[in-house]
Structure 1
Amino acid sequence: MQKLPSHLEFMVPETYRYFSHSTLRQQKYAQLYSTINVGKQPLKLQQLSETRWLAIAPCLTRVLQQYDELKLHFEMKNDRNHLPLQAVDFGVQFNIELARTSLDSGIVDTVKKYDRDFLMQLLSELQQRLPSNIHHLQTLDALSPETVLGLRKPKLQDLSFLMKYSGDIGKLDEQWQYIGTVSWPMDVLDNEEKFWMTVHDHHDASGEQDFKEVGQFALSMLALPFSNASVERVFFHK
């Protein structure tokens, strides 16, 4: 009986281990897989049993079923997958300053390579320093007055932070839909906190707070640790 190649014995358990301890890695791979396969989710990798060695077959099959996607994911940092130096946008000012010099083409390429590597390292470190709930931060734009009262207002069910709401979803959804039917004061439309405080305190003809739930929900989301102040600390402080 032929022995399984050692590199496969290493690849199968290590591939599972790489993703099993990191939700962020799983999310990044799922995003890549979904992009390639038009919205589909990747197959879940199986853990190799240390005692049942024959069970490697289904584990290996699961890797092979998405081998191209996994290979691309792990090769993203490979230099051959990056844009050629001549296609990288270093900015107008960089190109102007470079045109003023009389540097040899070899030196120019070296400078560009260092610049590109610096930008990639900067991006990598920024990604590491961003809060793990960055996906919630990205959807907070939905709470801006411009979005809530405009044509780009998303459905309530599309808000990633909706899961944090523990009240009456039906009432919240109704208020979310009808918030655009009120003529809100112009002086609060450029400030999210003032806007939602006004929404929260709004009373209908019978004296009831008709947007109390949606106002309270929005204010509580804006007060969470992934607010603008938190993001500023991430970018501007060590």
Structure 2
Amino acid sequence: MKNLIGIGTDNASSMTGVNNGVHSLLKTETGNENLVLVRCLCHSLQLAITHASEKSLPRNIEFLIRETYNWFSHSSNRQLFYKELYKTINCGKEPLKITQVCSTRWLSIEPAVRRVIDQWLELKSHFEIVKQKENCYMAEMLYSMYNDPVNHLYLLYLLPILDEVQRVNKNFESNDRDPTKLLNDLVELVESVARRIILPIAQIDVLTATNLESYLDPSPYMGYGFELKLTEYELLPEAERNLRHRCKQFTLKLIQEMRSRLPTNITILRTMSMLSVQETLKAIKPPIIKLAQEFGCQANEIERIVVQWRNIRHTDWENKCSTVEFWSEVYGYKDSADNNPFSELASLAISILSLPHSNAEIERVFSQMNIVKTKLRNRMSLHTLNSILHIRYGLKRSGKCCHSYNVPENVLKQIRGIKESLVMPMTIAIEDGPSTSQAQAHDEADIDDLQILFDLY
């Protein structure tokens, strides 16, 4: 606990609460007032988009996306009819599947909106035919929405913003990311979204400015697709003003939501970029004192870290492409006396780079657990489940597959010994007489669990 420098959580108040949240209790328990709290940024971006949409955009936009998916999801006949219509309009080309917007799938919003926009004409034609053919109220309602150009323009404005959010979200979910650039990517996202509606001449910091409304552009550029379609639809002036106003309000609300979910010490965390390979090996680079102080280094440690930070560029390092591999090399470096002259600096860097910016990997573990322990395998013990997950992730880390992995002979001998020790007592019990039903069930469950491990090999 004393070595704890930060925690990554979701946005639940039980974790992030100021008074009785886990983060506050850990700060008190460890005595570390600089304990870093990193909210899962993938989850935060999802919530920011959802809340901004609910409070700024018409409710029928979300209804349109959701019910379009529901219309096709439960009927193969509707899917087939739409497929034939799409192929007729597009010279035999088949349509892409309409995707679902799911609150637990962080990357589901942008693909769903993109599919609807790309197939807008075909979907509009489909519901126009179906509302007359089936006399269905839902089809009539969906057709009226697709026939309304304002709905199309709302989605055209949303799409490029969602695309930017999607790109950053994927960066945080990736396993091959550079940790020193993640927070800069997030800050650049907030600034990029803000520049859509802020006056170009405004010289403000969008992360800290409290009066963004004072710098709003009265007639901002809403994007190429939006402006192009707007000239085609020729809306009434009042409808156009209302449309632009609500789009601006959505963007402003999105900025506020994203800013409220940034780490509280975002300024110091942005300096993590100095730990990248390129910045570390520069001759002229920013001092590392503030970063060391933020993460609780003592005065004597900071003195050594400053010297090591200055001298690290004079050593010839092999790994200069990957930040993680570079600092791993620094951490394991030995001089002629078999000592590491950069031990304090390397320990600080690795501690900072290990901060959890996303819960994506934890969510993947939950998904793997649901795949392994299904309803048909509900008798699997916790020990067996844990072992299988260890095997899966061990193979993944080593870049191997269970079909190509050669199990060491000593491991096979241990497994055979365990199997024999389980089978023999049950055989003796059968010869001596019937055992109790509870003992039989326990033995059978253990053998079933062990057989699962055999099946993996």
TM range (shorter): 0.5 to 0.7
Q: CA distance change for structure 1 residues 120 and 231 in 2, over 3 Å: closer, same or farther? A: farther
142-151 vs 92-101, which moves further:
92-101
1 CA distance for matches of 2:335 and 2:357? 32
| Candidates 326, 336, 340, aligned match of 1:209 | 340
Q: Size of the alignment, in residue pairs?
A: 154
Q: CA distance change for structure 1 residues 75 and 145 in 2, over 3 Å: closer, same or farther? A: closer
Q: Which residue is equivalent to 2:241? A: 109
2 CA distance for matches of 1:131 and 1:175? 28
Q: CA RMSD in A?
A: 3.1
Q: Which residue is equivalent to 1:129? A: 261
Q: Deviations over 1:20-66 (max 9, x none)?
A: xxxxxxxxxxxxxxxxxxxxxxxxxxxxxxxxxxxxxxxxxxxxxxx
Post-superposition offset of 1:118:
0.2
1 CA distance for matches of 2:210 and 2:266? 24
1 CA distance for matches of 2:241 and 2:292? 43
Q: CA distance change for structure 1 residues 96 and 144 in 2, over 3 Å: closer, same or farther? A: farther
159-168 vs 100-109, which moves further:
159-168
Amino acid at match of 1:96: L
Relative contact order, higher structure (CA 8 A, sep 6+)? 2
1 CA distance for matches of 2:270 and 2:361? 14
Amino acid at match of 1:182: T
Post-superposition offset of 1:151:
5.6
The aligned runs of 1:40-51 (5 Å cut-off) are none
Q: CA distance change for structure 1 residues 218 and 128 in 2, over 3 Å: closer, same or farther? A: same
Post-superposition offset of 1:120:
0.8
1:221 aligns with 2:352: yes
Q: CA distance change for structure 1 residues 127 and 197 in 2, over 3 Å: closer, same or farther? A: same
1 CA distance for matches of 2:209 and 2:239? 31
Amino acid at match of 2:303: G
Identity %: 24
Q: Which residue is equivalent to 1:94? A: 226
Q: Which residue is equivalent to 2:142? A: none
Q: CA distance change for structure 1 residues 134 and 101 in 2, over 3 Å: closer, same or farther? A: same
Q: Deviations over 1:137-195 (max 9, x none)?
A: 2111111112212366211224375452125222111110111112221xx33432221
Q: CA distance change for structure 1 residues 91 and 161 in 2, over 3 Å: closer, same or farther? A: farther
Equivalent residue of 2:358, what SS? helix
1:172 aligns with 2:305: yes
Post-superposition offset of 1:114:
0.7
2 CA distance for matches of 1:148 and 1:99? 51
**Contact in 2 for aligned 1:85/1:112 (Cα 8 Å):** no
Post-superposition offset of 1:92:
3.5
Q: CA distance change for structure 1 residues 135 and 112 in 2, over 3 Å: closer, same or farther? A: same
Q: Which residue is equivalent to 2:280? A: 148
Q: Deviations over 1:92-133 (max 9, x none)?
A: 343333344322333222211111100111111112222222
2 CA distance for matches of 1:133 and 1:116? 28
Post-superposition offset of 1:232:
10
113-122 vs 138-147, which moves further:
138-147
Amino acid at match of 1:228: H
**Contact in 1 for aligned 2:305/2:344 (Cα 8 Å):** yes
Name the TM-score, length of structure 2 as normaliser. Answer: 0.30
Q: CA distance change for structure 1 residues 162 and 132 in 2, over 3 Å: closer, same or farther? A: closer
| Candidates 82, 107, 127, aligned match of 2:215 | 82
Q: Which runs of 5+ in 2 are unaligned?
A: 1-207, 363-457
Q: CA distance change for structure 1 residues 74 and 216 in 2, over 3 Å: closer, same or farther? A: closer
1:198 aligns with 2:357: no
